[in-house]
Chains A and B, each alone.
Chain A
Amino acid sequence: NAGVTQTPKFQVLKTGQSMTLQCAQDMNHEYMSWYRQDPGMGLRLIHYSVGAGITDQGEVPNGYNVSRSTTEDFPLRLLSAAPSQTSVYFCASSYSMRGYEQYFGPGTRLTVT
């Protein structure tokens, strides 16, 4: 099992550009989520999904869009990148939303100039 995979590992964008961060899992997990990690702050939830076709907002959803057309994939779209979106992004998956541990991908380091 590859677990949770993310691409790309690094990305530099100019302000206003859009891009998609890819996330895939091969554990047949129902729950998937996106977090951002900034220095001096804990991981913060951006969006999450409890199954194909079902998504919802987390703590910091503004400027991001998600969809989930399959169980395996959960891409995160930045609509119009801003310097405030410079961060490390982690995708995670779990058997279920309630009471189960989440498994994290290796992360994407994004810089917006």
Chain B
Amino acid sequence: EDQVTQSPEALRLQEGESSSLNCSYTVSGLRGLFWYRQDPGKGPEFLFTLYSAGEEKEKERLKATLTKKESFLHITAPKPEDSATYLCAVQAPSGAGSYQLTFGKGTKLSVIP
């Protein structure tokens, strides 16, 4: 069974204090690993897709990396507007030619001014 575990569940940072969020996964035949940001009361917003170990993607203060067992979302010098829940999802074959996403439970990030 595909599994995705995100840690920590919640993280409080001071503005400017860099840190990393972790997403560990166990799947057969990874097709892609996706990071989303979700603000309260809204739908998830796509951030990055990573396809193979060693791949990195960057966007403003965010950088996502991928190994064979986990992905990290590095946040450099965060600002209060980076406060949100960050979701990780993996896509892998799920039988009969289907490919579905399995989501982690998310990391709730709070950045304090």
Contacts and interface: CB of A to CB of B under 8 A. Distances in A.
A101 B34 CA distance: 7
- Chain A residues touching B, majority SS: loop
Contacts of B102: 42
A101 B87 contact: no
A102 B101 contact: yes
B104 A104 contact: no
Contact of A90 (B43, B98, B105): B43
Contacts of B106: 42
A105 interface: yes
Given A43-B87, A90-B43, A106-B43, A101 B49 contact: yes
For B34, B46, B49, B87, the residue with the greatest tally of chain A CB atoms inside 10 Å of its CB is: B46
Nearest to B102: A42
Contact of B31 (A40, A43, A56, A98): A98
Interface string B36-63: 1000011111100101000000000000
27 contacts: A40-B105, A41-B105, A42-B4, A43-B101, A45-B100, A45-B101, A48-B100, A90-B43, A90-B44, A92-B43, A97-B99, A98-B91, A99-B31, A99-B49, A99-B51, A99-B99, A101-B34, A101-B46, A102-B34, A102-B46, A103-B46, A104-B43, A104-B44, A104-B45, A105-B43, A106-B43, A107-B43
Interface of B: 4, 31-32, 34, 36, 41-46, 49, 51, 87, 89, 91, 98-106
